[in-house]
Amino acid sequence: MSEETIFSKIIRREIPAEILFQDDLVTAFRDIDPKAPTHILIIPNHLIPTTNDVKSSDEKALGRMVTVAAKLAQEAGIAEDGYRIIMNCNKHGGQEVYHIHMHLVGGHFLGPMLSQDR
Ligand code: 5GP
- Please check whether residue 55 lies inside any domain of the structure: yes
Whether 101 sits among the annotated catalytic residues: the reply is yes
pTM: 0.97
Among protein residues, the one whose CA lies closest to atom 17 of ligand 1? 32
Distance separating alpha carbons of residues 81 and 83, to the nearest angstrom: 7
- Name every protein residue with a CB atom under 6 angstroms from any ligand 1 atom: 6, 17, 29-33, 41, 88, 94-97
Convert the pLDDT of each residue in 35-82 to its tens digit: 999 999 999 999 999 999 999 999 999 999 999 999 999 999 999 999
- Mean pLDDT for the chain? 96
Among protein residues, the one whose CA lies closest to atom 12 of ligand 1? 33
- What CATH number does residue 23 fall under? 3.30.428.10
- Please check whether residue 116 lies inside any domain of the structure: no
Among protein residues, the one whose CA lies closest to atom 5 of ligand 1? 96
- Please check whether residue 77 lies inside any domain of the structure: yes
Residues 6+ apart with CB under 8 A from 24: 45
**What is the total count of domains within the chain?**
1
- Please check whether residue 32 lies inside any domain of the structure: yes
Instruction: HSE, CB side, 13 Å, CA atoms: give it for residue 16.
Output: 1
- Please check whether residue 118 lies inside any domain of the structure: no
Confidence of residue 116 (pLDDT cuts 50, 70, 90): confident
Range of the domain at 65: 6-106
